[in-house]
Structure 1
Amino acid sequence: MSARLACAVVLASLALASVPAHANKIPPIQAVGVDERVGTQLPLATPFTAAGQGPVTLGTYVDGTRPVLLVLAYARCTMLCSLVLRGVVEVARKMALVAGRDYQLVLVGLDSHETIDEASRKQAALLADLDRHDDRASWPYLIGTRAGIDAVADALGFRYAWDPRTEQYAHPAVIFALTPDGKVSRYLHGLQFDPGEVTTALTDAAAGKVITTEASAILRCFRFDPASRTVGARAEKVLQIGAAGIFAMLVTSIAGLIVWERRRARRARDA
């Protein structure tokens, strides 16, 4: 076998070996989702630490007079959290209702390892986007223990999970309108929020109404890895097509080299 042909065979072997064995595996986050529990009372006595303020409870920001717009996110999230928070900032800027006056914005951090410094920096960035800058009370950022975070998440029916492959929490894209006494009034799903819809949700919450979402498109947080069966199937299909294409190209190249080698050997014998 000539050196060129041997090289081609080695390249083919390496190309086939480079196709990931786990390409068709789906991340272990199938439990992620939302179980809507409208009317459920949130655990207001749950202790947290508010960035720039100190020890508080969730009930500190549920004063019985204003509705609450609650967000679950965390500073280290590089994908879905940033998009959800951007959507919250945009809708808060567009609404006639004013955060801190007409309703209370609250962010509960999902990551129990998040530090005060991380929370403070993220809060400062959010407040700057909202043109509220040093007004920390208008959008408090709460960090807590895993037990405290899970108590709030469980009451909301907010199911999330740690994905070790991406080192991110997988979670739904949803925010929550709460009544002034801390009951779940409505779920607002998605990454972008209509000002009219959020205004209505807060107005209904202020009146103590509870609204069930008829249909919800739940997005999951992921970084380049499939986070649902649909995305996983598509990724797998792309990998299969790519691998098949590479293999076909290599087979064609090897066949060409074999034909060339035989012709060269025949010419050498005839000479």
Structure 2
Amino acid sequence: MRTGAGIVVLLVAWTAPLPGQLNEGRYYLRTLPAVRIHGIDGEQSSLHQLLEESPVLLTLVSARCTGLCSPYMHSLVEAIGIPRGFRVVVLSFDPRDRVEELRSFARRVGAEALQGWWWGIPKREDLPALLEALGYRLRFSPERGEFDHTLALAVLDQRGNILRRIEGWQAVRYLRSAVREAQGEFVLSYPLPGYDVALRCFEVDKDSGTVRLSWGMGLLVVPPALSLLLGGVLHGLCARARKRRAT
């Protein structure tokens, strides 16, 4: 009994995420709060209103960021282009940003007038709940006068639930499957970089969706197969022994 419990504990420890690894599954089906937004085109809207029209790929930036925001958004704009069957919503997480600053940022990354893209600034009082729901981590650096922050892309269904949250530059790498999921297509999961599960049975290509067997499947198939083979051999030997005794 103790041996069995020890094996279970060992397997759980082996497959559990290590400290510091991403655990994006905890955001799955988390519902985003109602957020009022001032669009860069002057339109007053809300996140839920935008979701009524189509699924959404949501990300947050700062117009004042001199670090990752610009190259990150350049990569997303280049990878997505004009979205089909969904909308891309880009909101500012920086409470200091103004509409004209965010509009200028959108122009710099080539998405100000891009069809299917919607840029806006959340109401200041709605921003903390949005950041909390999305798991955005912010830390203001007085020396640089800007925020150290998370990069993340969230795939939202039309009820405002998070279907997938992809953190960091993985958002660009896994964008194709995220887009397919936003369009309502079922997408098999795949391990994140540095987050591989040792005993997985399948591997899924993030772009093509091709499924192939992993070595973990061998741990399930090989022992029963060997048992059947050994049983067959023993049965044959016993049958021969009985036949010899009978003669």
Asked if Structure 1 and Structure 2 have the same fold, meaning a TM-score greater than 0.5 normalized by the shorter chain, the answer is yes
Match of 2:181 among 179, 186, 204: 204
Partner letter of residue 89 of structure 1? V
In the alignment, structure 2 segments of 5+ residues that lack a partner are 1-21, 195-247
Per the alignment, in what secondary structure is the counterpart of residue 52 of structure 2?
coil
Matches within 5 A, 1:48-67: 48-63=37-52, 66-67=54-55
Tell me how far apart the structure 2 counterparts of residues 114 and 74 of structure 1 sit (CA, whole Å): 7
TM-score, structure 1 as length reference: 0.55
Is 1:47 the counterpart of 2:47? The answer is no
Match of 1:87 among 47, 60, 75: 75
Is the 2:52–2:158 contact (alpha carbons within 8 Å) kept by the matching residues of 1? yes
Tell me how far apart the structure 1 counterparts of residues 113 and 190 of structure 2 sit (CA, whole Å): 35
Tell me how far apart the structure 2 counterparts of residues 170 and 207 of structure 1 sit (CA, whole Å): 33
Q: Highest CA radius of gyration, 1 or 2? A: 1
TM-fit CA distance, 1:47: 1.0
Is 1:187 the counterpart of 2:165? The answer is yes
TM-fit CA distance, 1:165: 2.0
The C-alpha deviation readout for 1:190-233, integer Å capped at 9, x for no partner, is 336557x323223224438698885467xxxxxxxxxxxxxxxx
Tell me how far apart the structure 2 counterparts of residues 148 and 184 of structure 1 sit (CA, whole Å): 18
Residue 75 of structure 1 corresponds to which residue in structure 2?
63
**Between Structure 1 and Structure 2, how many residues are aligned?**
173
Per the alignment, in what secondary structure is the counterpart of residue 75 of structure 2?
helix
Tell me how far apart the structure 2 counterparts of residues 166 and 175 of structure 1 sit (CA, whole Å): 25
TM-fit CA distance, 1:118: 0.7
Residue 153 of structure 2 corresponds to which residue in structure 1?
175
Tell me how far apart the structure 2 counterparts of residues 157 and 209 of structure 1 sit (CA, whole Å): 24
CA gap of 1:140–1:63, structure 2 versus 1, over 3 A, is same
Matches within 5 A, 1:118-137: 118-126=101-109, 129-130=110-111, 134-135=113-114
Q: What percentage of residue pairs aligned between the two structures are identical? A: 23
In the alignment, structure 1 segments of 5+ residues that lack a partner are 1-32, 218-271
Residue 199 of structure 2 corresponds to which residue in structure 1?
none
Is the 2:151–2:169 contact (alpha carbons within 8 Å) kept by the matching residues of 1? yes
Is the 2:85–2:183 contact (alpha carbons within 8 Å) kept by the matching residues of 1? no
CA root-mean-square deviation: 2.9
Tell me how far apart the structure 2 counterparts of residues 208 and 68 of structure 1 sit (CA, whole Å): 14
Is the 2:88–2:116 contact (alpha carbons within 8 Å) kept by the matching residues of 1? yes
TM-score, structure 2 as length reference: 0.60
